[in-house]
Structure 1
Amino acid sequence: MTVNTTPLAFKNKAILAPMVRVGTLPMRLLALDYGADIVYCEELIDIKMLQCKRIVNEVLGTVDFVAPNGRVVFRTCERERDCVVFQMGTADAERALAVAKLVENDVAGIDVNMGCPKEYSTKGGMGAALLSNPDKIESILTTLVNGVCKPVTCKIRILPSKKETISLVKKIEETGVAAIAIHGRKKEERPQHPVRCDVIKAISEAVSIPVIANGGSHDFIKEHSDIETFRQATAASSVMVARAAMWNPSVFRKEGPQTLKDVMQEYIKYAVRYDNHYTNTKYCLCQMLREQLENAQGKKLHAAQSMQEICEAFEMSSFYHETSALLEAKKVSLEAKDQDEDDHAEDADVIKMAVRFDKREYPPQITPKMCLLEWCRKEKHPQPVYETIERPLDRLFRSVVTVAEQKYRSTLWEKSKKLAEQASAIACLRTLGLPEGKRDEEANHLVNKRKRQDGECLNNGEYLTEAACKKPHFVSGASNSSVS
């Protein structure tokens, strides 16, 4: 059993709550600048996270969890490592634990959102749907508490009665969680409904673990002093701020809020510096502008279709170009370093050639890999073996093919494993002076063979396909390995 030995301090803390599309790295860092003590990421679904690969992004100085389609699902950095809580949506204890183990070394705590009333969450049995299933709540939280070394928390909404809510919270307390956040509304209620401070207070007095009060933005919180007012009204240990922080993150500033212009400019700087997607950046800025969206600047923002255009709307074009140039220079420098290391690596026995595969140069269904495989069979060599690595910096691929105990590869990096393997096959074929299947090559025997006997089995029943060329020797340069 793993014991949580490093609990976060929730006493009298101002916390940036998770908000869908808002709790990204730039907003979290800005909230910390202004005085938030703990920040939550946006709710991330367990199944989506389990598809991700952890990649260290040396250009941005971040740790990225990247989906198979290349989209960054969760990005964090060293600065927030001791104060960022990873919040997930889950309805399964084992999946929840798998996600927690994936991220626990990069975050300060793990939270399960059991209060989200949105359909995308509840229809999967997550969020507020869990409130009617106490046994599943107990299973998920107990599994997490016993399975990870970081503090575990959860967030719920109040139930139809105060008695039911307190009973559930006491059951949650018994799981060993470090704290519990209470949104003072029922699952069917929305921000315009009053927050139930009396219920949060009753819970705070009924349990011994820290209680985090949430839901006061609409009724209470307009500036920093209101955070303490809400805390006292609920007798909670700390306060979680969501909408008020979304409208102006400087609500955490003890000296008083900053002007909206300054806040937005600081936010944009973080968004550019950490390559935040322009749609998310645009959404957050629109939430800050609110009633000012109809003025000239608001209309420019609304029309923006890139980060550059957003910066132009806020007269920050110079910052955008300077920062982009610095990041690009750093990327080029790291690529050059990687290339130099590759050239001096332990592959002196590898024959290298700067070649790429362009399928437009080949007849349909004919590839260099097929040509190489057919040649190996004809010469009674073992079939080619491909070893492919992925470069974490930019997620590009390069492959080495071994034929007759000699290795060959292209010096160029490709966008996919398939392209990298084809390029290595070309390097081998050209070195050996063999035909590679191009349209302009005379008497292409593979083309003639396909025309003559399409689908006929070759060599003891094996079909001549891409699958026949493959062997499980893919080695990833990132934290996880895959098979090509």
Structure 2
Amino acid sequence: MAETTELSFRNKTALAPMVRCGTLPMRLLALDYGADIVYCEELIDIKMAQCNRIVNEELETVDYVAPDGRVMFRTCSREKDRVVFQMGTADPQRALTVAQLVQDDVAAIDVNMGCPKEYSTKGGMGAALLSDPDKIETILTTLVNGLSKPVTCKIRVLPSLEDTVRLVRRIERTGVSAIAVHGRMKEERNQQPVHCDYIQAVAEAVSIPVLANGGSLDLVKTHSDIAKFREATGACSVMLARAAMWNPSIFCSQGPVSIDEVMEEYIKYAVRYDNHAFNTKYCLCQMLRERLESPMGKLLHAAQTNKEICEAYGMMQYYDEIESELQRRKEGLQKNNINLSHPTLEGDVWIMPVRFERREYPPQITPKMYLLEWSRREKLGQPVYETVQRSQDRGFQSTVAVAEKKYRSTLWEKSKKFAEQAASVVCLRVLGVPEGRVGEDSCGLVNKRKREEENKNGAIQPEDSPPAPELDGRKRHITLSPQKAEEPTNRTCTQPVVNGSHHSQTAS
């Protein structure tokens, strides 16, 4: 068995895993107010297995980025020793692959065996696992034997008390470090009372820590109620979901903080860590609750970005300060020749999560122009671009070959031209060659190209606009999705691009 670095689950209060709520801002806020352990939202193993681990120097975070560019999991050093990564899985080996990918950035790994929502159960995950004890045992044993971090699971109770006890004893024998028990059956919903007696029976049946969950509606309304819920269930720890979602200051032993102050602190973390605006807005709506129809609620409903949310809450000064700070940090990293993300070799292709931002370049300058001129100066063949188009969202991704080496951005672009530009940026950054950004030393690149185009056309032609055939001798290939392959085209290759999709995000 791999050596385990233990995170204690005894006498703790934890933020429960909640889809859409358990992202970095909420986790940090819960820690601020006194939570001992914080769980991330359930993340599906199929999607996580496709992610690249990226050290985000600008935000000072570690990001797990999906092929479509979405950050599936973002964490930072402050929570490293107290964040538990919860995954949805029904496959032992895939679960191990994901757990090994993230284990150095988290304190423990948890398997969701309690979510009753269809998006989880239809894949054999979540509460569906409760009817397959053999698979539960295989998944947990595989993880315990293959990881250096504690492994836990979260379950719901079974209709029979005897069956529940039998299951948790079997789970304990796998070597897990703790069990979280939601005191409802998978058919029951939050409006129905929690079965404290079932949780108590579990706590008495096993020697490992049990975290009681499910008391937010009736039993836990203030911080002092946490101890009462612990006593009522006989558990050694308590896990809070909706009570913490409504007001994370429930973890504060000094008493609750006004919800307006809590929301302000949440927004600060959301801006500081570039949280997705949809997620920011969702969490704030949960905190507003009955005030959703208030003037503030209507302003929040209309906001579409974190900046607009800050405008609604009168926090533009803070927003501008953070934007300036991040810009200074970005410029400092660039000045010291530190890439905001590090290139990695995937097979024979150098990859980086790079997106082409047109505003970062002068009107007549693009990375493709710089790469072409650099290749000419080094007496190399012209860059060769191969592009694929993804069927589900028509996104594009290009790979550029230069001097028998290949380069690609892991992020998908909205157009073929932008995808080629992004690939060029990756190539130039790996090579350490200027890419033409505003304020960057050109080292004499593109000057010859500009003179040629000025002589031919009387003006410089932007590289990302349709080039004249006689000026553009570069080879281009595109791989089309099956839908596009049937259309008349002179482009080559017809391999489909298959990409996984994240489950529907609904609070569980």
Q: CA deviation at 1:438?
A: 5.3
Q: CA deviation at 1:9?
A: 1.4
Question: Is residue 2:165 matched to residue 1:193?
Answer: no
Q: Counterpart of 1:439 in structure 2: which amino acid?
A: A
Q: Secondary structure at the match of 1:202?
A: helix
Is residue 383–residue 474 contact of structure 2 (8 Å, CA) maintained in 1?
no
1:91 to 1:445, Cα distance in 2 relative to 1, 3 A: closer
- How far is the alpha carbon of 1:409 from its aligned partner? 8.4
Amino acid at match of 2:91: D
User: Which SS does the other structure have where 1:56 is aligned?
Assistant: strand
Distance apart, 1:339 and its partner CA: 7.2
Structure 2 counterpart of 1:338: 337
Residue type of the alignment partner of 1:264: M
Q: How does 1:399-410 map to 2 (within 5 A)?
A: 399=427
1:230 CA displacement: 0.3
CA distance in 2, matches of 1:91, 1:221: 32
Match of 1:291 in 2: 290
Corresponding position of 1:208: 207
1:385 paired with 2:404, answer: yes
- Select the residue among 379, 392, 398 that pairs with 2:426: 398
Give 1:90 deviation, angstroms.
0.2
Deviation at 1:309, TM superposition (A): 1.1
| Contact 1:409–1:428 (CA under 8 A) maintained in structure 2 | no
Per-residue CA distance 1:396-423 (angstroms, 9 max, x = gap): 733269xxxxx99852179xxxxxxxxx
The change in CA–CA distance for 1:340 and 1:116 in structure 2 (over 3 A counts) is closer
Residues in 2 aligned to 1:128 and 1:143: alpha-carbon distance in whole angstroms = 19
Shift of 1:357: 3.2
Once the two structures are superposed, what CA deviation does each residue of 1:21-73 show, in whole Å capped at 9, x if it has no partner? 00000000000000000000000000100110001111111100011111110
CA 1:440–1:409 in 2, change beyond 3 Å: closer, same or farther?
farther
Q: Which residue of 1 aligns with 2:368?
A: 357
3-state SS in 2 of match to 1:156: strand
Distance of aligned partners of 1:445 and 1:277 in 2 relative to their CA distance in 1, 3 Å threshold: closer
Which residue is 1:270 aligned to? 269
Give the Å deviation of 1:158: 0.5
Q: What is the rounded CA distance, in whole Å, between the counterparts of 1:386 and 1:74 in structure 2?
A: 31
Deviations along 1:263-311, one digit per CA (max 9) or x if unpaired, are 1111111111111011100000000000011111111011111111111
- SS across alignment from 1:441: helix
Q: Which amino acid aligns with 1:356?
A: P
State the partner residue of 1:65.
64
1:3 and 2:32 correspond: no
Aligned to 1:244: 243
Partner of 2:470: helix, strand, or coil? coil
Q: Secondary structure at the match of 1:110?
A: strand
Using the TM superposition, give the Cα deviation of residue 446 of structure 1 relative to its aligned residue in structure 2, in angstroms.
9.3
- Give the residue type in structure 1 aligned to 2:139: I
**Aligned Cα RMSD in Å?**
3.5
Give deviations 1:193-226, integer Å, cap 9, x for gaps: 0000001001101111111100000111111110
Sort the Cα spacing of 1:356 and 1:188 in 2 relative to 1 into closer, same or farther, 3 A.
same
Q: How far, CA to CA, are the matches of 2:366 and 2:314 in structure 1? A: 44
Question: What residue is the counterpart of 2:470 in the other structure?
Answer: 441
- Say if 2:172 and 2:206, in contact at 8 Å, map to a contact too: yes
SS across alignment from 1:262: helix
TM-score, structure 1 normalization: 0.76
Which of 428, 434, 443 is equivalent to 1:411? 434
Distance 1:231 1:399, change over 3 A: same
Report the TM-score, using the length of structure 2 for normalisation: 0.73
Q: Distance in 1 between matches of 2:436 and 2:270?
A: 28
Q: Rate the CA distance shift 1:278–1:438 in 2: closer, same or farther, 3 A.
A: closer
Instruction: Give, in whole Å, the separation in 2 of the partners of 1:339 and 1:108.
Output: 28
Whole-angstrom CA distance in 2 between matches of 1:446 and 1:111: 50
Aligned pairs for 1:171-182 (under 5 A) are: 171-182=170-181
Show the counterpart of 1:379: none
Residue identity in the other structure for 2:368: F
In structure 2, what residue type is equivalent to 1:328?
Q
1:193 partner letter:
Q
For these two proteins, the number of residue pairs brought into alignment is: 402
Deviations for 1:371-406, whole angstroms, at most 9, x for unmatched residues? 678xxxxxxxxx9413437699xx9733269xxxxx
Provide the C-alpha distance between the structure 1 equivalents of 2:405 and 2:449, rounded to a whole number of angstroms: 17
2:163 is matched with 164
- Does the Cα contact within 8 Å between 2:428 and 2:435 map onto a contact in 1? no
Answer yes or no: is the 8 Å Cα contact 1:370–1:466 preserved in 2.
no
Q: Is residue 84–residue 109 contact of structure 1 (8 Å, CA) maintained in 2?
A: yes
CA contact (8 A) 2:114 2:155 kept: yes
Separation (CA, whole Å) in 1 of partners of 2:185 and 2:332: 54
Percentage of pairs with the same residue: 61
8 A Cα contact 1:410 1:427, kept in partner? no
Determine helix, strand or coil for the equivalent of 1:294.
coil
CA distance in 1, matches of 2:153, 2:98: 15
Instruction: Tell me the distance in 2 between the aligned counterparts of 1:41 and 1:252.
Output: 17
Q: In structure 2, how many angstroms separate the alpha carbons of the residues matched to 1:213 and 1:21?
A: 22
Matches within 5 A, 1:47-66: 47-66=46-65
- Is 1:328 aligned to residue 296 of structure 2? no
For the Cα contact (< 8 Å) 2:381–2:403, is it kept in 1?
A: no
Do 1:372 and 1:429's aligned partners in 2 also have CA atoms closer than 8 Å? no
The gaps in structure 2 that reach 5 residues or longer are: 341-364, 370-379, 385-401, 412-421, 438-444, 457-462, 476-489, 494-508
The amino acid of 2:165's aligned partner reads: I
The verdict on how the C-alpha distance between 1:413 and 1:465 changes in structure 2, with shifts beyond 3 A counting, is farther
Is 1:114 aligned to 2:139, yes or no? no
Distance in 2, matches of 1:164 and 1:320, equals: 53
SS at match of 1:265: helix
Q: Is the contact between residue 388 and residue 400 of structure 1 (CA under 8 Å) also seen in structure 2?
A: no
Q: Give SS of 1:217's match.
A: coil
Pair 1:36-2:38 in alignment = no
Partners in 1 of 2:68 and 2:214 — Cα distance? 35
With over 3 angstroms needed to count, the CA separation of the structure-2 counterparts of 1:164 and 1:390, relative to structure 1, is same
Deviations 1:60-89 (A, max 9, x none): 111000111111100000000000000000
Structure 1 letter corresponding to 2:75: T
Measure, in 1, the Cα distance between the counterparts of 2:301 and 2:467: 49
Q: Which amino acid aligns with 2:296?
A: Q
Bigger radius of gyration:
1
Post-superposition Cα deviations, 1:310-366, rounded to whole Å, max 9, x if no partner, equal: 11111111111111111122112212322799xxxxxxxxxxxx75338xxxxxxxx
Q: Tell me, what secondary structure is at the counterpart of 1:357? A: helix
Q: Label 1:327 to 1:466 Cα distance change in 2 as closer, same or farther (>3 A).
A: farther
Unaligned runs of 5+ in 1: 342-353, 359-368, 374-382, 402-406, 415-425, 448-463, 468-484
C-alpha distance in 2, partners of 1:144/1:411? 45
Separation (CA, whole Å) in 2 of partners of 1:389 and 1:267: 36
Give, in whole Å, the separation in 2 of the partners of 1:280 and 1:243: 16
